[in-house]
Structure 1
Amino acid sequence: MSAEALGFSGIVALLILLVLRVPVAFAMFLVGFLGIWALNGWNGAMGLLSSETFTLASSSELVVVPLFILMGNIASTTGMSRQLYNAAYAVIGHIRGGLASATLLGCGGFAALSGSSVASALTMGKVSLSEMDRYGYDPRLSTGVVAAGGTLGILIPPSTGFVIFAILTEQSIGRLFLAGVFPGLLLLAIFVITVSIICWFRPEAGPPGLRRSLSEKLTAVTGALPILLVIASTIGGIYGGLFSPVEAAGVGAAFVIIYGIVTRSLSLSAFWQAARASVVTTATVMLILIAAHMVNPFLALSHVPTYVGEALIALDIPVLGTLVLMLLVYLVLGCFLEGFAMLVLTLPIFFPVVLQMGIDPIWFGVLVVLTLEMGLISPPVGINVFIVKSVAPKVALADIFRGVLPFWLAMLVTLGILIAFPQISLLLPNTMFN
């Protein structure tokens, strides 16, 4: 069997294993290790495994992962996420669809702490779904808002999706974090507009909540100041050149821990649980990255990226057409595969083409992460939909998927805007580094 045939066979085998629900890291490790063994011998496979594992585990850049995850877990434990939701609820909850919009704002704020779409959907679902149910919101709107709003966790920095992309493509984590700020805010704004449009055509879907007095609004907003300060200090510190991403993660994690101690909202047992959950999530990410560094050399040895790149160039379509074609592949794969698996499977193939065609890699990273977000609410996998289902067991799964459809379309509109106007993504990173 030729090297190219072995490479494509490995990709098919990996897809089959993922469809069979074999854990992502183990599926990639198995295919990558066996593929390198077949192409480069047992010693080559074992040598690569030992060297890549040590190199990756000793990378200082990856310290950002456990620190930001810990920051998000402790923020959830101390109730900072609820305070952010309460502030948004107090300010706009009295308008039609206001509770849904407040949930989206809460998701956006919590995303800037946790970097996790699943954590954002789970946390804000527990906080907001009961309130929207109490005011008679259409379950399709309420669950759709939580599922879609949770996806902001992978786009608004800090984002584990950007960290994985940066490691796999050797790009700057700081530049990617800054590149996600304006697209994240744009998507959040379009989500809020989508809620307004839904409530315009179906007023019964989002009845108004209670109108709060000015003093109640000020009290609620004051309660959200700590979480806003954390967001401003971490992202603002990176933009201002005060912190590297790792240092910003350390500052943010320290701040939320000190806040929890001062306000007595963080007990020793709660801290232990948050730390333990952070270790488990970090270990999962590290296993995926180690496995990815087995798959990538296998694909390189099989010349699959070169073959695909030459095929795309031979099509003789414009650069924009090639970019759209690659994003369509991500949209289709997002219906069946988990986001990190898509990155590991596709970036070794697509990224050389991106560089060869002169596509800005940071811009490409933002577009790819946004398409990963769309996969989080796309049937039949749609992991965020299943997370919301676990919080709202009485709502039919089909109704939740119907509820996320307008927001999926809103994400498609956002993707089109970001393709048409690359500077939305590139303004902050180019300003910072130039």
Structure 2
Amino acid sequence: MTLDPLLIAGLGFALMLLMIAVHIPIGIAMGFVGMGGFAMVVGWGPALSLIASEPAATLTNLNLAVIPLFMLMGNLAASAGLANDVYNIAHAFIGHRKGGLATATVIGCGGFGAVCGSGVATTATFGRVALPEMLERGYAPSLASGSIAAGGTLGIIVPPSTIMVLYAILTEQFVVDLFTAAIIPAIIAVTFYTLAVRATVHFDKSAAAELAPLPWRERFRALLQGWGVMVLSISVLGGIYSGFFTVNEAAAVGVVIAFAFLIARKGLDIKELGRILVGASTTTAMIYIMVFGATIFSYFMSVTDAPSMIVNGITALNMPPAGVILAFIALYIVLGAFFDEVAAMIITIPFVIPVVQHLGFDLIWWGIINVIVIEIGMITPPIGINVMVLNAMRRDIPLQQIYKGIFPFFIADMFRLAVLVFFPALTLWLPGMLN
């Protein structure tokens, strides 16, 4: 009995979700279902060939080489204390204002995002750096934790971003265009989060204490001590945007600079270096396995013609394009609450991208919207990966307190998303100027 390819696609997708639900790693679930489904449609010979050729092609893909480099650069920078430097600068200049430490945390997360590229890593880093500082100075646990969980999402919208690299590779877009398109949305994100802090301390006077301003000598000292972050971010991003470096070369230069700062500040500690390498390697391996699985699963979806059927089905509904985009946005917010940012994007690309292309939307614009809605999902109940990371680090702060603190930032995210959806020029203007 021969099953209809579309039915096989539906059963395969359901099986993949079931496997993920029982905690089978996402990349393995996608690869297993993709291979089995491809074999049912095309045959076991081509399927077995596929699981040999695709991982090999992924491992030799030079564009993907930037991922381990950015991961290593972020780990080296965090260990060298560059996150502390960013936070100390913001703290020195605005920390004395009402809610200033929470604002400094948001700005610090944005600055560290420029040398990290991971939302979860940014959250974990500032959970160690900023949270004790705010709690010691009389900040409400809700505002302190909320500003870190929300600020941590900036790690994936401030370029360079690992998830943007993956999106560019999987959708065949130019990664520098994505990095450029993210600049204005990232500035808007930091601005709106700052306004969210101001609104919180305005309506809840007990949320934050006013502190004495630091002397100007201390402020300039913090600024001078933070020169390392500036050197690293300017070297990497300046090299990319000027065309002096390719993205891979810029990432490699970033690793060397971050390593030099680590040696200069802490010396050569073999145990610490081993921990950094293991951390970067573990995350990279997880991402590569997801890419293996996603590629095989995409082949399976292609041979069943499921993406075309989905496009035709949505077209037959006569929904306006804006309605389809809003439905996708809602989907990603839900997925982001349950999956990490990479998984949420990889699972859906085989279905979503053909529809977005068919509707005539720019894939660079959609890439930025995609990242933003996944950001929102990272702090959305019932899970929210950033919330879980912060709660695991500080069991003394209940989940309810963290979610209470996140609410103003969630509202700010909704406004930011609306602005960028209805005014695409804010995303596409800079890439257009540079091209």
Alignment TM-score, normalising by the size of structure 2:
0.96
Whether 1:384 and 2:425 are equivalent positions in the alignment is no
- Per-residue displacement from partner, 1:37-92 (whole Å, max 9, x unpaired)? 21111111111111111111101111111111111101111111111111111110
Question: Any unmatched runs of 5+ in structure 1?
Answer: none
Whether 1:116 and 2:114 are equivalent positions in the alignment is no
Matches within 5 A, 1:251-266: 251-265=253-267
Whether 1:339 and 2:333 are equivalent positions in the alignment is no
Distance 1:115 1:342 in 2: 16
1:36, 1:298 within 8 Å by CA — same for their partners in 2? yes
Distance 1:307 1:429 in 2: 33
Aligned pair partner of 1:289 in 272, 282, 291: 291
2:150 corresponds in structure 1 to 148
Aligned pair partner of 2:200 in 191, 198, 201: 198
Give the letter for the 2:427 counterpart: S
Distance 1:405 1:138 in 2: 14
1:414 corresponds in structure 2 to 416
2:337, 2:385 within 8 Å by CA — same for their partners in 1? no
Distance 2:414 2:404 in 1: 16
1:18 corresponds in structure 2 to 20
Distance 1:26 1:405 in 2: 35
**Post-superposition offset of 1:316:** 2.2
Aligned pair partner of 1:349 in 331, 342, 351: 351
- Structure 1 vs Structure 2: percent identity of aligned residues? 35
Matches within 5 A, 1:10-409: 10-265=12-267, 267-409=269-411
Distance 1:108 1:145 in 2: 12
- Secondary structure at the counterpart of residue 130 of structure 2: helix
Q: How many residues align?
A: 433
- Per-residue displacement from partner, 1:161-185 (whole Å, max 9, x unpaired)? 1122112111111211221122112
**Post-superposition offset of 1:3:** 0.7
TM-aligned CA distance change 1:288 to 1:185, over 3 Å: same
Give the letter for the 1:203 counterpart: K
1:100, 1:132 within 8 Å by CA — same for their partners in 2? yes
TM-aligned CA distance change 1:266 to 1:381, over 3 Å: farther
2:339, 2:385 within 8 Å by CA — same for their partners in 1? no
TM-aligned CA distance change 1:424 to 1:265, over 3 Å: farther
**Post-superposition offset of 1:261:** 2.3
**Post-superposition offset of 1:360:** 0.5
Distance 2:267 2:103 in 1: 27
Give the letter for the 1:150 counterpart: G
Deviates more, 1:124-133 or 1:237-246: 237-246
Give the letter for the 1:199 counterpart: V
- Secondary structure at the counterpart of residue 263 of structure 1: helix
**Post-superposition offset of 1:266:** 5.1
